[in-house]
Chain A
Amino acid sequence: MIQKLFFYASPQNFYPLAGKLWPVFACLATGLTVWGLWLGMFVAPADFQQGQGYRIIFVHVPVSWMSMVIYLAMAFWALLGLTFNTRLSGMMTKALAPTGAICAFLSLWTGALWGKPMWGTWWVWDARLTSELILFFLYLGHIALTSAIDDPRRADKAGGILALVGALNVPVIYFSVKWWNTLHQGASVSLTKGSSMAEVMLEAMLIMGVAFWMYAVAMALYRVRSIILVRERHAQWVAELPEVKAQMMKNTAGGANA
């Protein structure tokens, strides 16, 4: 088992595995999304307090979960990369970051869309909203740092340290913001209010949660394949890949025509 893990730690061996895996996760994500949205939009009853508007939680809650899970996953890969000095770990961290940033952004966006009809305002300085915003900034910082450094090995290591420092800081930020908020004023609206959810709503939400999880895995695997190709473009095994060969033929043919 351990040997297999080390086998796939090499980009050359992971590339075909990721190629086989990402369509599976993408199919799972699509299927679960269709099922979850059908349950959420058509089967689940309207909320007696919030009417139809509450249905945005079927997207909002899963993306918020994923924005946090992906940061943890990044920290995990970063730790692995810094301790074992594996190249693939850095690539995985880099591949996860954009999906995490998108999830954090969607979480803020859908939260605002939900907040306007429910609270009468697009934004409140609630502990969860504020810490989600800061998490979004952390993602942006990570992406900016890794893309500003030209040497990929240095970018990976620097990004890894930043991801770990950020992961240490996330709980501190969450609790500090929570305390800051409660000291100023009691939260006017609690997000956890009405936790006695109808069972079908909870079910739809959980299914959507798994769907977004699968989506994140599929996207990360898809993106890591591109990163592997770019980083290993001078390697022999990349030149021998059938898809690369086909592309090269096309390019030379196009060049001849021009």
Chain B
Amino acid sequence: MSAFVAIVKRDLTLALRRKNEVITSVFFFVVVAALFPLGIGPEMNTLRLVAPGILWVGALLASMLSLGRMFATDYADGTLEQMALSPNSLSLLVAAKILAHWLLSGLPLVLLAPILGLQFDLSSNALWVLTLSLLLGTPVLSLIGAVGAALTLGVRGGDVLLSLLVLPLYVPALVFGAGAVQAEISGLGASAHLSVLAALVLVAAVFSPWASAASLRIALES
């Protein structure tokens, strides 16, 4: 467990020394959310309707931007190999890296989402549900993304490939995340969607570190 905490701390420290990477993906989220009204038109009724989808797709793309870096630098300087050799299970260490990735690229989006939601004139209830759905949903994005990042590690054209692999797998999180907000707006109540999102997090949390670790071992073998 101390190794887990150590890796989380290390990744956070590394990221805070190079703040621009974190800030870039957050900024991307803000810009994307601002571009849609320009494309769709300033009609508030329309914007309120499309807001959950736009914010969720924006969050999904923003969290994907930083996936490529999840293992790449550690792979390049050999740290990853040391992790694989360490007596701790690689799955645990990978889980720590995933948590760090979520803290750096998922949590800022969760905190920003209510402010962006205000721009789309969402009601306060809908804003709460949006934040909650992102809080439950962005870990799923980091967890599934980790498998893709591990599979494409050191592969030619890895970044583009990563998006092709990961985006279809993000569909359930997107459907239930944006769906929760839609359901809240239409008065159906969001609890069913949020429960499914929570279930997705739990399932992904069980399988993803293990699958990512297996993929990393494949990448390290060759």
Contact = CB atoms under 8 A, between A and B. Distances in A.
Interface of A: 82, 134, 137-138, 140-141, 144-145, 148-151, 153-154, 157-158, 161-162, 164-166, 168-169, 172-173, 176-177, 179-180, 183-184
Contact of A172 (B165, B172, B188): B172
Nearest to B178: A180
A138 B164 CA distance: 8
B160 to A, nearest CB: 9
B164 A144 contact: yes
Given A148-B161, A161-B211, A165-B211, A154 B171 contact: no
A164 B152 CA distance: 16
Contacts of B169: 165-166, 169
B214 interface: yes
A126 to B, nearest CB: 14
A173 B157 CA distance: 27
B151 A177 contact: no
B179 A183 contact: yes
Contact of A140 (B151, B156, B164): B164
Contacts of A157: 218
- Chain A contact surface mostly: helix
B147 interface: yes
A173 B168 CA distance: 9
Interface string B145-157: 0010001100111
B168 A137 contact: yes
18 contacts: A141-B168, A144-B164, A144-B165, A148-B158, A148-B161, A150-B156, A158-B218, A161-B215, A162-B165, A165-B207, A169-B169, A172-B200, A173-B171, A173-B172, A176-B171, A176-B196, A183-B182, A183-B183
B175 A177 contact: yes
B214 A149 contact: no
A253 B104 CA distance: 64
Interface in B185-204: 188, 196, 200
Contacts of A168: 207
B222 interface: yes
A162 B151 contact: yes
A140 B168 CA distance: 11
A148 B155 contact: yes
Contacts of A141: 161, 164-165, 168
Nearest to B207: A168
A180 B147 contact: no
A184 B183 CA distance: 9
Contacts of B218: 154, 157-158, 161
Contacts of B183: 183
From DSSP, what is the main secondary structure of chain B's interface residues?
helix
A143 to B, nearest CB: 10
B171 A134 contact: yes
B53 to A, nearest CB: 11
A148 B222 CA distance: 14
A176 B222 contact: no
A165 B188 CA distance: 32
B219 interface: yes
A192 to B, nearest CB: 22
Contact of B161 (A137, A145, A172, A184): A145
A145 B151 contact: yes
Contacts of A184: 182
B221 interface: yes
Contacts of B56: none
A250 B162 CA distance: 43
B176 interface: yes
B222 A154 contact: yes
Contacts of A176: 171-172, 175-176, 196
Contacts of A173: 168, 171-172
Contacts of A153: 222
Contacts of A158: 151, 215, 218-219
A249 to B, nearest CB: 36
B222 A134 contact: no
B23 to A, nearest CB: 30
User: Which of B156, B161, B215, B218 gathers most chain A CB within 10 Å?
Assistant: B218
Nearest to A169: B169
A183 B156 CA distance: 41
A4 B26 CA distance: 58
Contacts of B168: 134, 137-138, 141, 173
Contact of A145 (B152, B207, B214): B152
